[in-house]
Amino acid sequence: MPVIPSGALGALDPTSDRAVFRQIADQLREAIDKGRFSEGDKLPSETELVEHYGVSRMTVRNSLSVLQGEGLVFSEHGKGVFVRPRPPVRRLASDRFARRHREQGKSAFTVEADAAGSHPTVDNLEVKEERPSQDIATRLGGPRRVLARHRRYLLDGRPVEFATSYLPLDIARGTQIAEPNPGPGGIYARLEELGHRLDHFEEEIRARMPAPSEVRTLRLAAGVPVIHLIRTAFDTGGRAVEVCDTVMAADAYVLAYQLPAT
């Protein structure tokens, strides 16, 4: 029985130079783009596509793997291949570290999540002294060892980012910053109490495909890149007092910045 919605998918063009698996991928992609399959919908099964197009199963699978690589669909073993829904995105505003927010005593992540009606969680918290990578050391002015605060953030149970903050030992050792819970307002509030009044932050943003370990940590679907953000905090003396290295699931974020025109 032909279970493919009538008209949803056309026929192959045998005269075309385009590879068969690409033609099939094109037709499926177009059907998704035009809403003939909606978010969460199940695509025709591999067997159905094999019958519809009269090709071998490997060819069909090749087509589907193209769409997976583009992040358009995901597969579930024993169930089917589905159109990937666009998850809700978290918007990071450029004033998210403004003192006025900090002074209300909550962390930036928690404040935003609450505002968006989501349930935030922090996970895998680990605080320890480490030897920093060359890059981190350079940004902090070259210390041999640093305090590292590792953690993972989840939104409604979904891991969306993991991050590590690095701080010079001469600033952080023995303070509340070296405790798992740094207290109200987070480590930036503690830094200011310790006399390091914050002046500005610098952020560097890259995007790339995730390493396998990042796929596991963020439970990333195929075809989802990561945003790699490195933020350095400077005090009013011009010293770099913290570097925060963050990897985010790109489908969960939009970053917003405001730039002066002057």
Residues forming the site for DNA (CB under 7 A):
19-22, 43, 45-48, 54-59, 61-62, 75-81
254 binds, among DNA, a copy of itself, none (CB under 5 to 8 A by kind): a copy of itself
Give the nearest distance from C-beta 255 to a copy of itself in angstroms.
Answer: 4
| Interface pick for a copy of itself out of 48, 80, 97, 137 (rule CB under 8 A) | 97
CA separation, residue 160 to residues 4, 58, 103, 119, 249 (Å)? 35, 34, 25, 12, 5
- At residue 240, what are phi and psi to the nearest 5 degrees? -75, 115
56 binds, among DNA, a copy of itself, none (CB under 5 to 8 A by kind): DNA
Q: Indicate whether 209 belongs to the interface with a copy of itself (CB under 8 A).
A: yes
Q: Which residue lies nearer to DNA by CB, 46 or 203?
A: 46
Are the CB atoms for 93 and 109 separated by under 8 Å?
Answer: no
Dist. CA 99–CA 243, nearest whole Å: 18
Could you list the beta-strand ranges (E) of 62-130.
73-76, 80-83, 90-92, 120-130
Give the nearest distance from C-beta 7 to a copy of itself in angstroms.
Answer: 22
**How many residues contact a copy of itself, by CB under 8 A?**
47
**Which position has the token pair 């210390």?**
143
Dist. CA 203–CA 223, nearest whole Å: 25
| Interface pick for a copy of itself out of 41, 70, 156, 193 (rule CB under 8 A) | 70
Q: Indicate whether 254 belongs to the interface with a copy of itself (CB under 8 A).
A: yes
Are the CB atoms for 22 and 16 separated by under 8 Å?
Answer: no
199 binds, among DNA, a copy of itself, none (CB under 5 to 8 A by kind): a copy of itself
Q: Which residue lies nearer to DNA by CB, 47 or 124?
A: 47
Dist. CA 195–CA 182, nearest whole Å: 16
145's CB contacts (< 8 A; 6+ apart) are 129, 130, 131, 132, 169
Residues that bind a copy of itself (CB under 8 A): 26, 29, 58, 65, 69-71, 89, 94-95, 97-99, 198-212, 222-227, 233, 250-251, 253-262
